[in-house]
Amino acid sequence: MSRIGIFFGTDTGRTRRLAKDLAKALGDAAESPVNINKVAPEDLLAFDALILGTPTLGEGALPGLDTGGSMESWLEFLPRAAGLDLSGKVVALFGLGDQDKYGEHFVSALRPIHDWAQACGATLVGRWPVDGYDFIESEAEEAGEFLGLAIDQHNQAHLTAPRLAEWLAQILPALLAAAGPVTVE
């Protein structure tokens, strides 16, 4: 039995909080969330099911030192993790953004993480409908869906808890099938 691994990037802490909420909802099924800037790529291989979270910074960019972030993050991690073997692993993504102020790049940072995980052989789950959001463009949109759960704590904070619960219910069977049988609180 392995637990679900939760890794996140963050600049101002919102994505960390979301990751903690996710871990709490998953109870014993998940490990405590870890900042992606604290791990080596191989550390992800300890998990057969992964939830990866990121804010979008700059203009549709991954968080990191070159995109206005205060610390290393996904921007530095992904090149190091190129070619990691994620085959057989199930990966779900969540992204934080601001659809009002950054509506031309809403949660776009999901795209490079998605493309990296896919290129590494992972099975991606947890796409989320764009209905209910008001944005102009997103590199993370494909056929009416985001590549993962989109969260906007600036303009739709009241929708976060129900979105999280619905998304978890949607992805949990696939995550648990990969991670093995565990008890969810």
Ligand X SMILES: Cc1cc2nc3c(=O)[nH]c(=O)nc-3n(C[C@H](O)[C@H](O)[C@H](O)COP(=O)(O)O)c2cc1C
Q: Which residues bind ligand X (CB under 6 A)?
A: 10-15, 55-60, 68, 96-98, 102, 105-108, 153
Q: Decide if 118 contacts 159 (C-beta within 8 A).
A: no
**C-beta closer to ligand X: residue 37 or 56:** 56
CB atoms within 10 A of CB 159: 14
Q: What is the residue whose two structure tokens read 């070619």?
A: 83
Minimum distance of ligand X from residue 82's CB (angstroms)? 23
In the structure encoding, which two tokens stand for residue 74, read together?
């996904």
In the structure encoding, which two tokens stand for residue 151, read together?
């969260």
Minimum distance of ligand X from residue 137's CB (angstroms)? 10
Which residue's beta carbon is nearest to the bound ligand X?
97
Q: What is the residue whose two structure tokens read 């073997």?
A: 85
Minimum distance of ligand X from residue 48's CB (angstroms)? 26
Rounded CA-CA distance 147/52 in Å is: 12
Minimum distance of ligand X from residue 8's CB (angstroms)? 7
Helices (H) and strands (E) in the chain, counts: 4, 9
**C-beta closer to ligand X: residue 33 or 55:** 55
